[in-house]
Structure 1
Amino acid sequence: MISNIAIFDLSTGTATSFLRSDRHLEAPNWMPGDDQLLVNSDGRLFRLPLEAPRLEPIDTGFARRINNDHGLSPDGRLIAITDKTETGKACIYTLPSAGGTPKRVSENTPSYFHGWSPDGGTITYPAFRHGYDDGADIYICPADGGPERRLTFGFDTCDGPDHTPDGAWIWFNGEKNGAVDLWRIRLDGSGLEQMTFDTRVNWFPHPSPDGAHVLYMSYEPGTEGHPPNRDVDLRLMPAEGGEARILLRLFGGQGTLNSPCWASDGRRFAFVSYEV
């Protein structure tokens, strides 16, 4: 398996590859300054400088089972991670972006980080609270830790929540009666609104930092879950809803853009494709 980390530029409509590796790399985030990326591989985190692409390990203390649900705080000072080392189940922590000892955030497990609020005070995540067979719902809690609040009800399962840059909405993918669409909801749990209506299986919406677009990954109809090693579309839709356009078709899926992946200018995003 070859991982190919690339950046798509909306202004040119082209993707540029920055690193091909025989390591299984996933879920690029942008580090402060937009001159390097953050990726995970084999339970660890790595920086990837764009001028001289190479994988530089980040000290994550005891955390050695980090998955692809991670992201930088809005001020760039902290990285939120999801790790199983301490609890045996997915648990959310934060650590300094330069590296250091993780601090536990989520009281309950399993919980999977997905997004920061624009002010850095709140994180959002899918969590299983009644067993895996009953599916996940979307929750929020203080970024420093504290009581969580459930936002979604009535779905078979939910995943991929991410905040809009104005802090007004959380977008997520939700499954009902076998259909997986994109939805949005306000932080107080009001205003639930369905945003896609096609037959595709739509995952991991990421609102752009300029508030103009929402990027997401779309599987072929009938796909179950968010598997790896599939032909997928990367699609872009207006932030207020409407017809999406296909930016790329690639071989990917799980790991391609699970976590927030936009550069701060809202014109570029990072992603991973794979080759077998």
Structure 2
Amino acid sequence: MGRTWRPRRSPDSSTVVFQSYRESSFGLWTIRADGTGLRRLTSGPFDHREPVFSPDGEKIAYSSDAPGSYGIHVLDVASGRATLVTDTPDEEYEPARSPDGIKLAFVAAGTRIDVVTVAGGARSTFATEPGTALHSPMWTPDGGDLVYARYSGGVPPVAVGVAELVRGGKRCSPAKTSSRSASRGRAPTSTSSSAPQRYRSRCNGVVPPAGTYHRQGGPPDFLFCISSRTAR
């Protein structure tokens, strides 16, 4: 069924959602934890990617370029009906659902982390850093803060620059050079999960998901996380 990655478990661990690249686009699929019940959730010529379950397991947020540019959608698992949550000319992707399920954080235009209320559509900017490449927002367990990755010294589609682990504006580890392909239409060539695990305790218990970062061969990427202020 093509190349697959970004698996995410449902809250009750009974189901896994993932993205698969086939027929020149990304699609979303689910499968039961025991390996049965494979189900295709999306189809068509557009990309559907980066899925994440809601806390009740009834909905899946994801990014898609179906509107013409990448936007954040929410799909009802039972009915298969999808709703567009963000609708701007900006590329918007990598959604992360808050622990209470009320909000979604996501990357906007590559240089911002925005937050939107799923039900009402109220939107705010949590962080903006022109000249950098921001990725993979994740909520802290209490839902009051966000952790995200930043590359300095490079911008998409290929970010090459300095990466360091940061929390509260203070560097926690030596800087190292890192690279990442950020093309929205291409599949990554290799991934690493060891670096995120290494620094879990320094990022308030939350790290960007494994498989987001990669380099073309060589050692794992050196991550840096930023926990800046309360998400409102």
Q: TM-score when scaled to structure 2?
A: 0.70
Return the alpha-carbon distance in structure 2 between the equivalents of residues 124 and 82 of structure 1.
12
The residue number in structure 1 matching 2:152 is: 220
- Root-mean-square deviation (CA), in Å? 3.2
Change (3 A) 1:124 1:229: same
Q: Distance in 1 between matches of 2:137 and 2:104?
A: 10
Aligned residue type for 2:58: G
Letter in 1 for 2:77: A
- Say if 1:126 and 1:161, in contact at 8 Å, map to a contact too: yes
Instruction: Select between 187-196 and 120-129 the one with higher mean Cα deviation.
Output: 187-196
CA separation of 1:88/1:76 partners in 2, compared to 1, >3 Å: closer, same or farther? Answer: same
Change (3 A) 1:187 1:224: same
1:213-236 Cα offsets, whole Å, 9 max, x none, are 3221101155024x4765434555
1:205 maps to 2:143: no
Relative distance call for 1:191 and 1:91 in structure 2 (3 A) is same
Map of 2:58 onto structure 1: 121
Q: How does the TM-score come out when normalised to structure 1?
A: 0.60
Query: What are the residue-to-residue correspondences of 1:75-114 with 2, within 5 Å?
Result: 75-85=12-22, 87-108=23-44, 109-114=46-51
Deviates more, 1:116-125 or 1:140-149: 140-149
How do 1:1-276 residues align onto structure 2 when only pairs under 5 Å count? 63-67=1-5, 69-85=6-22, 87-108=23-44, 109-130=46-67, 134-144=68-78, 146-175=80-109, 180-199=111-130, 200-220=132-152, 222-225=154-157, 227=158, 231-236=162-167, 244-247=169-172, 249=175, 251=178, 253=180, 255=191, 267=205, 269=207, 271=210, 276=218
**2: distance between equivalents of 1:246 and 1:73?**
34
CA distance in 2, matches of 1:273, 1:224: 14
Find the aligned partners of 2:16 and 2:161 in 1 and give their Cα distance.
29
| Higher RCO, Cα 8 Å, sep 6+ | 1
The CA distance in 1 between the partners of 2:16 and 2:172, in whole Å, is: 28
Shift of 1:157: 0.6
Gapped runs of 5+ residues in structure 1?
1-62, 237-242
> How many residues are matched?
195
Give the letter aligned to residue 125 of structure 1.
Y
Q: What 5-or-longer segments of structure 2 have no aligned partner?
A: 182-190, 219-232
Counterparts in 2 of 1:245 and 1:186: CA distance versus 1, 3 Å: farther
Amino acid at match of 1:104: R
Query: For residues 71 and 196 of structure 1, do their structure 2 counterparts lie closer, same or farther at Cα, with a shift above 3 Å needed?
Result: same
